[in-house]
Every structure is written in structure tokens, then in C-alpha cells.
Amino acid sequence: MLSSLEIAVSESCESKEPTRPDGSVVTHFREILLWPVQLMPLKEGQQIHSHWEPLECSDGSPWERLLDEFQIDPCEFQERHYREFVTFLPHVQRVLYGEGSVGGRAEQRESPIRVYRRKDIAQVELTLEKSSEPILLHVAHVDLYFFYDADLAIFALEVFGNDLPLKVAQDLMFLFGRAYPPGWMADGSPFHCTKVSWVAKDGRVLASSDFENREKFLVSVCRHRAVAIGAHWEFLLEPMVPHHSGRPGAIRYRQLEYYRMPVMAYLALNDPNKLTRIDYARLAFAAGHGDGKSLPFSKRHLRRFETDYCYDRYFEDTHREGWCTRIMCCGHAFVMTGDAHSAFFTDPERGLLGQFRHQYFVLGLLAHFHKAALLMISDRLVGAVKKLDISEAASVRRFRRDIRQTLEIFLRFTHRYWYHDISDQAQFRDVYHMWTRHLGSEQVYREVREELHDMGAYLDSDLLRRQSNTMVRLTVVTIAGLIGMTTTGFFGMNLLAWADAPPLDRTLFFFAVLIPTVALTVYTVIKSRRLADFLDKLSDERLTAREKWTSFRKIWHSTA
């Protein structure tokens, strides 16, 4: 794709004198929301769950399995599919697209990612804060991504609109995509939220947000220690249900990250030269339009803005002709801006619009999947420790089993999904590294690995300690029994000739010897720890005979 981007820099961008950004218009606006949610186990004690199976078996489910482009007729295979495939390294290709027809069973050759799509929603109606005019955006895709052997799903929603004022696009990035409100203002309206309604193809409103229902969210936190999800998001994910909602449902989910859903945005501007550093900073952090005159954060905080948050491989702030494509990323937001008059920037097949919807979308999907999967594993560790009661043997055994299973899950995740590089193409490699750096995935990975290593080391040492104690007890019992065995077997014959005695006498004599022997063995095991201490001191040549005798007496007198 490097050659394609080189074409981009040759496209003409009108160079004008910087003016006030109020006149900037977003000719084409696209926004993709990525919402990772944790899926609860379908069956306790089972490691690998197929959460998509209840989705397929549910009556009236709006979700349909989306077959990937590699399962269609080769005559219908498009060039953009090919471009997307060759962007990634082979080990990433096998995860994203499967193995094809090379050996093994069919389920092993398939991609571990399953995608489901619902097609009943055509538009979304948004009413911004302090605005009476609703904004209508078209819905391109409503998808749900499941990952094999990972108890999480990523909800992906893509919307688009044309000819929007820049400040409206900024507010859409800031206000849309909130799982629940952060609070309420004095008049009862939700803080930093937008009214959302899903509209069907025939114009019917299928569901609307209920962020103004303050009591619903307060009661949920008070009763369940979990925040309720907005009604419109609950509708989209049906038949999946929130875990703490009390509603029946086979697939249950709960919030895993921040209440602001990660966002990807594409803005084709009629004149990108009008954008100021303030505009770029607000776009990069999805911070809303503000007053248009102040940065979203302090100057000190943003002194390295261009270095840390911007990928300016094909951008010049001197308005050099052709260099007006800027990519920005802060972790929870990924933004691409460019010239709407550039054919390459707006081309949905071979241009940056096509790359945004496919290659860069996959980058975002993998980056947020890695972060969410690591948080899910960390949550498992917290749950295992929370259920541990060291005074109960059953709880300790369950804790040991949970930690072992979590370690196995982490190892499978590492070898199946975790990778540091996903592409050798410079722009995708660099953007992916910047994305994961801001998400902090590497740090979370190291922390989870160290926690699992520490717990594994503790379990191993505890196992060795218990084995050592067992060996000590067995050694003491063997030494105690060795005296009798040596005495009775020294001459290689029995002391009493009971071979010719009547069967009843031999039976009675057998039990007369067996019962005291069992009692003596059990008693020896009970006193094995003190006997071990006595034997240890008996072998110590530095101790006097009196000290050894005192140690012998302590076998029967614990307080002596």
C-alpha cells in the first residue's frame, strides 16, 4: 500500500490562507464504534465456550452469520479483499482469514473470528446537547465479533453522513458512543450524552436511549454494584442481556472498559487547510468542538502533541500542496482527516476511505481485542482471589484449579492471538505501534504475565511444601515400623507357630495384631511432625543428651 499512499501525496490539495475554521465542512463523515464486552461463562468449570451457538439457536434473533469473502465464488472476489489480505503478515492472516484448504479438519482451518450482522437498522437519529434539530446518519454495518477461546465480544457500529459542519462532526465523536451517562445536570438531563434513536428501513423507531432515566442507573449501581446499559444499546445486543439486569438470557455480558466506546472517525474536509492546531487536538482526543479558540487540555500537556499523537508521514502544516492527510490516535480515538477533493482520499475501493473501512478497521479491532482480552484475564484472576478462603480446603483446591485454568487460557491467548507486529507496510506498522502504545497493551500484558507467574510460583512452592511434609511423615512412619520389622524378621521365621492352628484362632490372632498395628500407625502419623523434630535433634551432635531427652518428651507434651 506504500505506492498507493505515494499516489496520495501527488493529489492536489488547494492551498489557501488560513482562515477561521467555522466555515469548514466535512463533506463525508464516517464513525465506527468498537465496544468490547466481557461474556460470562455458559457453563461453570468449562474453559472454552461457544457463545455464538445460543445466538444462532435463539428464536427471532436478528443476527445472521456473516460469511467472509473467502467463502464466496472466486469470480466475485474483489480487489479490496485482496488488498486487505496482503496488508498483514502471514501469522496474522491465518488468524483473520483462516488456513484455507490446507490439511486438518474444516473447523481447524476456519478463522477463530466469527462475525454476525443485523440488517434491520437503516439510520440513527441523534439529538446533540442544546440542539433541537436532530441529525440523521446512515448505518452501514451493525456487527458482532466473537473470538474463539476468548470470553469477550466486540460490537462494531459504522455510521456515515455527508456535508456536516466541522463542529457537529466533533460533537458526534464526543457525545455518541456512551454506554451509560457519567452523570446528570441540575435539570435532570444526562451529562455529555446525546439522544439516540434507531430507525428501521420503513422509518419506524425501533429503540431510543433512556439516559434521562436517572433512577434506573442509580438503582442498578446501588443494588448490583454494576452500571446499567442504555436501552438503545441493550436493544442492539439482544438476545444478549446485561449480566446484572436480572433478565433471562443464555448469553450474558458486562462492561469491561471505560463507558466511552472506542471510536474511529474519517473526515473528508472541503478545505483541510482551515483546520488549526486546536481543531486537530480536539479531533485527536474526540473532545468536542468547544469554543473553537482553546485547546482541550493545557499547553504543557499537549506540548508533544504532534510527536505523540499524530502520524504525519503525509502531512505538512505549511499547507504544502498534496500533503494534507493526517492520522491521529490517542488510544480510545483514531481519526483520519484529508481533502475531500482528493480522489485517492475519498476512493472507497483503492483510496484511504477503503483503507479506513478495512485495513485500519482491522488494526483497531485487533488492538482493542488485545487490550480487552488482557483485562478479561486480569478480571479472572481477581475473581479467583476473591473466592479464596484459606481456612477451607475445598476453596483452596478451587483456587488452585482456577489459577491453573487461567494460566492455560493466557498461554493459548499468547500463542494464538498476541503479536507485536502485524504488517511490514510502514504506515500500518507505525500506526499499530502508536495505537497499542496509547492503549497500554504491552504494560497490561507484562502485568498479567507477572501476576500469573507469581501465582504459579506460589502454587508450585505450596505443592512442593505439601509433598515435603508428606515425605517427612512417611519417613517417620517407616522408621517407626522398621524397628518391629527388623526384630520380627531377623531370623527369617515367625516367633509363634500359628500355621497349624484352627482357622478361627488364626483369624482372631490376625485381628488382634492388625488393630493395634493400625492404631499405632495412625498415632505415629499424628505425631509424625513432632517425631520428625525429635529425629532431627537426635541426629544433631551439637545438642546434649538432656536437650535430646527434652525433645523426646515434647512428642507427648505439646506445651512442655
Q: Would you say 11 and 344 are in contact if contact means Cβ atoms under 8 Å apart?
A: yes
Q: Lowest mean pLDDT: which of 50-64, 285-299, 429-443, 519-533? A: 519-533
3-state secondary structure of 69: helix
109 or 341, greater pLDDT: 341
What proportion of the chain, given as a percentage, has pLDDT over 90? 46
Q: What is the pLDDT of residue 109?
A: 65
| Stretch 555-559: mean pLDDT | 63
Q: CB under 8 Å, gap of 24 or more: what pairs does 417-422 form?
A: 417/95, 417/112, 417/147, 417/150, 417/369, 417/370, 417/373, 418/370, 418/445, 419/89, 419/91, 419/92, 421/89, 422/88, 422/89, 422/92, 422/363, 422/366
Question: 472 in helix, strand or coil?
Answer: helix
Give CA–CA dist 541/532, Å, rounded. 16
Q: Quickly state the pLDDT bin for 546 (edges 50, 70, 90).
A: confident
pTM of the model: 0.81
Mean confidence (pLDDT) of the chain: 83
pLDDT tens track for 164-219: 999 999 999 999 999 999 999 988 889 889 999 999 999 999 999 999 999 999 99
Confidence of residue 477 (pLDDT cuts 50, 70, 90): low
Measured distance CA(30)–CA(151) in Å, rounded:
29
Cα distance between residue 98 and residue 418, in whole Å: 16
pLDDT at 385: 86
Average pLDDT over residues 516-520: 76
| Boundaries of every domain in the chain | 353-492
Task: Give 236-268 pLDDT, tens digit per residue.
Answer: 999 999 998 888 888 999 998 888 999 999 999
Higher pLDDT, 510 or 277: 277
Q: What is the pLDDT of residues 340-396, one digit of tens each?
A: 999 999 999 889 999 999 999 999 999 999 999 999 999 888 888 888 887 787 888
Closest CA to 244 of 262, 219, 261: 219
Residue 307 pLDDT > 90, yes or no? yes
| Residue closest to 325 by CA, chosen among 432, 190, 427, 189 | 427
Q: How many CB atoms lie within 10 A of CB 385?
A: 13
74-103 residue pLDDT tens: 666 778 888 888 999 999 998 888 876 555
**pLDDT above 70: residue 52:** yes
Q: Pick from 35-44, 114-123, 449-458, 523-532 the range whose average pLDDT is largest.
A: 114-123
Of 337-351, 436-450, 532-546, the least confident: 532-546
Work out the average pLDDT over 396-410: 87
Q: For the chain, what is the radius of gyration of the CA atoms? A: 34
203: region left, alpha or beta (phi > 0 left; psi from -120 to 50 alpha) = left
